[in-house]
Structure 1
Amino acid sequence: MNDIEALAGTLDAAVRDARAIPRLTDKAELDVDAAYAVQRAVIRRRVARHERLAGVKMGFTSKAKMVQMGVHDVIWGLLTDAMLIESRVDVGRLIHPRIEPEIAYLIGRPVRSAADVDAAVAGVAVGFEVLDSRYEDFSFTLPDVIADNASAAGYGVGAWHDPRDVANVGMLMEIDGQAVQAGSSAAILGDPMRSLRAAARLAGQAGITLEPGWVVLAGAATAAVPLPAGAHVRVTASGLGSVEVTT
């Protein structure tokens, strides 16, 4: 446990100081279970600073990324209210800022298992996630990225819409009016609902209830791109409108 807390302290300091650190696995033996323990310890530190749990983010939701990382399941992290980006993000407080287009779900009732989640969806929206690996050179192993809360740094969502089928929604991300990524929500495990169900499954296994008002980021519809300072980003999804952020 002391090792878990020490590793969590190292990662937490990296986030707060916006300072890149060597991979944890360069010096510590860390398997997936221990990595999630580190992740939870980091989140406990944030909660102790009066942040509030606000949702779940999913990672490795594309088959290509799973193959690249040599895994057969998604990974996940936790969101807090301090990660919500209303309109502007200060990339000067980040190390390796990147952004990707997302499908977001709003939870309307408690979800304790994957069986509960379909009926618990209160809304769906286009969103974005700002990623920021805390490791030097944006280089990490699977346990490293899990411990680092799946590289979560911030997120934003557009207007919520009534639950609907978003299995194959066209998505576009623009920076300063120029298209930088285009794709489909089908890139998210073939259907973002599969990612939502995985979120409920993994949270339930960890003893975490998805609470009303929580957001689940189902995963990226395209690859992430670097997020420069002084930029304006717009993410659009067919039928869901758009969401914007400036840096």
Structure 2
Amino acid sequence: MSASHDADLVAAFAARLDEAALAGRTAERPTDTADLDPATAYRVQRAVIERRIARGEATIGVKMGFTSRAKMIQMGVDDVIWGLLTDAMLIEEGGVLDTAGLIQPRIEPEIAFLIGRPLSGEVTPAEAVRAVAGVAVAYEVLDSRYADFAFTLPDVIADNASAAGFGVGPWQDPGAVDPANLGLLVEIDGRPVATGSSAAILGNPLRSLIAAARLAAGAGLELRPGWIVLAGAATAALPLPKGVHVRVSAAGLGRAEVSTR
């Protein structure tokens, strides 16, 4: 495959996925028509984000995916994946999410890190801790652009790891709370619907942050001060209907809330 044909293919897949997200409809999976490897899929992902940036959005962080051993086994992979977050994805704390533009939204509880100093490459746990300016309970809204959330590894990477939105609770002093094994609770309209532990995130969410720094370096990026890193899900993703109130809470970290319409 020529370089120009490859670039055209990346641009075409990015346009297809971006336009599907804007229209709130599903799209054909790239692997249905092309032999897409993960490296090329990440090029598609970056091209999708570049289209969003061209519309005025700004990159403000990253989200980690496949951070549970069970999910890695299910997808036949031995490493995490990541996607990029923009300011348009951030939902104000206690705010309202309009689900009308989403296709098949789901929500999952997360631990978030606020980056206080640049972080990139192979870093030690101590270096990762020093780079953290805050830690918080968070949630991510997922929305696959593929029918029935059915995809291969390259497909989901190209689709920005199913990122659609996210919210973060109040930032806490990272020195005052150990995020390694916190209980998380998800409530919908006041009813508990899921519980989990932050230990489900690679055994410790800090390992996800370390992986994010490594992946950032591989992509020619760094985790910048002010960026947010969503470390991964503590439970399976839950269907997110309209007209509900969701509260995600974690001992020692407080809560993050959102309503849907």
The worse-fitting range, judged by mean Cα deviation, of 110-119 and 235-244 is 110-119
Q: Distance in 2 between matches of 1:136 and 1:170?
A: 32
Aligned pair 1:218/2:218, yes or no?
Answer: no
Runs (5+) with no aligned partner, structure 1: none
Aligned to 1:10: 16
Q: Distance in 2 between matches of 1:182 and 1:118?
A: 26
**TM-score (normalizing by structure 1):** 0.98
Give 3-state SS (helix, strand or coil) of 1:167's partner. Answer: helix
Aligned pair 1:105/2:113, yes or no?
Answer: yes
Q: Distance in 1 between matches of 2:169 and 2:236?
A: 20
Letter in 2 for 1:218: A
Q: Is the 8 A contact 2:108 2:238 kept in 1?
A: yes
Q: Is the 8 A contact 2:60 2:87 kept in 1?
A: yes
Aligned to 2:76: 70
Aligned pair 1:190/2:203, yes or no?
Answer: yes
Q: Is the 8 A contact 2:128 2:206 kept in 1?
A: no
Quote how far apart the aligned CAs of 1:202 are: 0.3
Quote how far apart the aligned CAs of 1:156 are: 0.2
Aligned to 1:125: 136
Aligned to 1:171: 184
Q: Distance in 2 between matches of 1:48 and 1:114?
A: 31
* Matching residue within 70, 82, 99 for 2:88: 82
Aligned length: 247
Letter in 2 for 1:24: P
Aligned to 2:3: none
Q: Distance in 2 between matches of 1:113 and 1:3?
A: 29
Q: Is the 8 A contact 2:116 2:226 kept in 1?
A: yes
String of CA shifts for 1:14-36, please: whole Å, max 9, x gaps. Answer: 11111111211111211100100
Quote how far apart the aligned CAs of 1:226 are: 0.4
Q: Distance in 1 between matches of 2:249 and 2:129?
A: 24
Give 3-state SS (helix, strand or coil) of 1:235's partner. Answer: strand
Letter in 2 for 1:95: I
Identity within the alignment, %: 67
Quote how far apart the aligned CAs of 1:113 are: 2.2
Quote how far apart the aligned CAs of 1:112 are: 2.5
- What's the C-alpha RMSD, in Å, of the aligned pairs? 0.8
Give 3-state SS (helix, strand or coil) of 1:210's partner. Answer: coil
- The runs of at least 4 aligned residues of structure 1 exceeding 3 Å deviation read none
Runs (5+) with no aligned partner, structure 2: 1-6
**TM-score (normalizing by structure 2):** 0.93
Quote how far apart the aligned CAs of 1:215 are: 0.3
Aligned to 1:205: 218
Q: Distance in 2 between matches of 1:168 and 1:142?
A: 28
Aligned pair 1:139/2:145, yes or no?
Answer: no
Q: Distance in 2 between matches of 1:184 and 1:35?
A: 31
Q: Distance in 1 between matches of 2:207 and 2:148?
A: 32
Give 3-state SS (helix, strand or coil) of 2:96's partner. Answer: coil
Quote how far apart the aligned CAs of 1:137 are: 1.8
Letter in 1 for 2:222: T
Aligned pair 1:44/2:44, yes or no?
Answer: no
Give 3-state SS (helix, strand or coil) of 2:167's partner. Answer: strand
Letter in 2 for 1:63: R
Q: Distance in 2 between matches of 1:137 and 1:112?
A: 35
